[in-house]
Structure 1
Amino acid sequence: MTKVTMYLGELTCPSCLTKIQTALKKQGVAEVKVLFNTGKVIIRVNGERPTAAVLEQVITDLGYKVMKVRVKEEAK
């Protein structure tokens, strides 16, 4: 499993959380957690798809700015 952590700017309301979670879940990710107060998005992906670049593009297409991306392979 791959853990992708993104740090976003511009999370201004709780509906941002729902909007981001819904869009990422449509990409087939295993888990999405959005921490509204910190602008942190934690995504867990099974296998190699979708890639971190694809997930970042999904968030960018929603109108949010991705400040930083970290990708880490997790032990099974």
Structure 2
Amino acid sequence: MEKVMMKLSGMTCPSCLSKIERAVGSLDGTDQIKVLFNAGKLKFTLDTDKTKTVDVKTAIEKMGYEVQGIKERSLTDECRRKIPGGIEAKRP
């Protein structure tokens, strides 16, 4: 699982927000989808075994929006860092 943030341009009204959320939500493996209209950002979690980031990017661009940047962070690594005494913490 990954946490993904995309910087978008081309959103002109709040209905763009719901169109993007529906389109991304229809892709297998996406969850916790949130479009920040004023910031021009899309945030979501992604199961990369089911869908790739490039597939989400392509779906957004097919609707006429531009993806200007993508940041990804593995939730597995994030969880390991947060669990005191977890497997990663025990390694020398």
RMSD (CA atoms): 1.2
Greater strand fraction, Structure 1 or Structure 2: 1
Letter in 2 for 1:19: K
| RCO comparison, higher one (Cα < 8 Å, 6+) | 1
Q: Structure 2: any 5+ residue segments left out of the alignment?
A: 80-92
Q: Structure 1: any 5+ residue segments left out of the alignment?
A: none
Quote how far apart the aligned CAs of 1:47 are.
4.6
1:11 alignment partner in structure 2 = 11
How many residues align structurally? 76
**Could you list the per-position Cα deviations for residues 35-68 of structure 1 after superposition, in whole angstroms to 9, with x for gaps in the alignment?**
0001100010135221100000000001000000
Secondary structure in 2 aligned to 1:30? strand
Give the whole-Å Cα distance in 1 for the aligned partners of 2:49 and 2:69.
20
Give the whole-Å Cα distance in 2 for the aligned partners of 1:30 and 1:9.
22
- How many percent identity over aligned positions? 33
Letter in 2 for 1:40: K
TM-score by length of 2: 0.76
1:23 alignment partner in structure 2 = 23
